[in-house]
């Protein structure tokens, strides 16, 4: 058995001293101040003096090693003992060879497949606990937000499609009823009169207008509408129009 250690670094490789200092301040506040998380790099040390991690490269594997606590790209923060592994050094080398094939550098993704995700997988294969939640919490939060946004967009698109289909059925049904009442004679199911064909041609633009009416206006659109309306309105009506524009809260409320 041997100890498994994770080494944590502040990510200060932006190339800008101002940006690096900002990241350090973020990490001090969100991790040291309130224990939430931050922007960190991690690497696993097991057997020997080297640590293992994962990063981006265009070709070959993204798995790499360097002397523990000495990665020159980042600012060293701390080490955490994760536990002891029952794996022999031979087994560990085999695991690292497998991961080198499974984690090519071009698959690196900041939110869904970064160095911290790699360390979690390595820990799992070594049979020790994964990294503390705060190490990769920002990436998990960002990935979840993207997934929610994607699902929401898909649902909105699906809902619009279903609304269009439903409106076509309803419009056709209402057109048939109107035609039957007007003509005073029954019409064979599945056939359309010339007037109905004309009505159906208007259907697309009618429903498009309905959707556009239901869509919330941006503040710029509302101001433009007010300006157009105010050109032909008396002064007291102009003031009332401006005062009646609704104020929408921002997304961060």
Compute the C-alpha angle 196/198/204, nearest 5°: 100
Give residue 119's pLDDT. Answer: 97
Residues 10 and 114 in one domain: yes
Model confidence band, residue 32 (pLDDT cutoffs 50, 70, 90): confident
**Domain stop point among 106, 135, 164:** 135
Query: Is position 106 annotated as part of the catalytic site?
Result: no
41 carries an active-site annotation: yes
Total number of domains constituting the chain: 2
State pLDDT tens for residues 212-252.
544 444 444 445 545 555 555 555 444 444 443 333 333 33
Percent above pLDDT 90 for the chain: 40
Query: Looking at per-residue confidence, does 17 or 193 come out higher?
Result: 17
Which residue segment(s) compose the domain that 214 sits in?
A: 145-243
Residue 114 pLDDT more than 50?
A: yes
Catalytic residue among 7, 41, 87, 117: 41
Contact 121, 99 (CB under 8 A): yes
Mean pLDDT computed over 133-141: 82
In a domain, 229, yes or no: yes
Q: Are residues 131 and 234 in the same domain?
A: no
> DSSP readout, 210-234?
HHHHHSPPPHHHHHHHHHHHHHTS-
pLDDT of 38 higher than 70: yes
pLDDT at 96 over 90: yes
Q: Where a domain ends, among 135, 157, 174? A: 135
pTM score, whole prediction: 0.57
Rounded distance between C-alpha atoms, residue 40 and residue 82, angstroms: 17
Which domain-ending residue is among 85, 104, 135?
A: 135
3-state helix, strand, coil in the chain (%, to 5): 55, 15, 30
- 84-116: b or e for each residue (b if 16 or more CB lie within 10 Å)? ebebeeeebeebbeebbeebbbeebeebebbbb
CA-to-CA distance for 95 and 126, rounded, in angstroms? 8
pLDDT > 70 in the chain, percent: 55
The CATH code of the domain that includes 69 is 3.90.1720.30
**194 and 223 share one domain:** yes
Find the catalytic residue in 115, 117, 119, 123: 115
150 and 131 share a domain?
A: no
Is residue 4 classed as helix, strand or coil in its secondary structure? Answer: strand
| Residue among 124, 118, 125 nearest 103 (CA) | 118
């Amino acid at each position: 058995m041997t100890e498994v250690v994770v080494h944590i670094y502040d990510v200060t490789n932006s190339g800008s001293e101002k940006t690096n200092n900002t990241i350090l301040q973020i990490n001090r506040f969100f991790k040291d101040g309130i224990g939430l998380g931050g922007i960190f790099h991690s690497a696993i040390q097991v057997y020997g003096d080297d640590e293992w991690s994962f990063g981006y490269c265009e070709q070959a594997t993204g798995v790499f090693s360097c002397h523990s606590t000495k990665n020159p790209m980042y600012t060293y923060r701390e080490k955490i003992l994760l536990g002891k592994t029952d794996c022999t050094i031979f087994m560990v080398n085999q695991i690292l060879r497998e991961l080198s094939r499974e984690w090519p550098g071009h698959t690196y993704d900041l939110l869904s497949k970064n160095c911290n995700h790699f360390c979690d997988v390595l820990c799992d294969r070594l049979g020790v606990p994964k990294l503390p939640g705060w190490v990769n919490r920002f990436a998990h939060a960002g990935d979840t937000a993207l997934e929610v946004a994607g699902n929401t967009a898909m649902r909105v698109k699906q809902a619009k499609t279903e609304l269009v289909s439903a409106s076509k059925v309803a419009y056709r049904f209402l057109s048939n009823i109107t035609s039957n009442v007007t003509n005073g004679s029954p019409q064979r199911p599945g056939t359309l009169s010339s007037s109905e064909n004309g009505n159906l041609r208007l259907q697309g633009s009618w429903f498009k207008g309905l959707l556009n009416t239901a869509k919330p206006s941006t503040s710029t659109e509302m101001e433009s509408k007010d300006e157009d309306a105010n050109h032909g309105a008396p002064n007291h009506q102009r003031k009332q129009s401006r005062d009646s524009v609704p104020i929408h809260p921002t997304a961060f409320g």
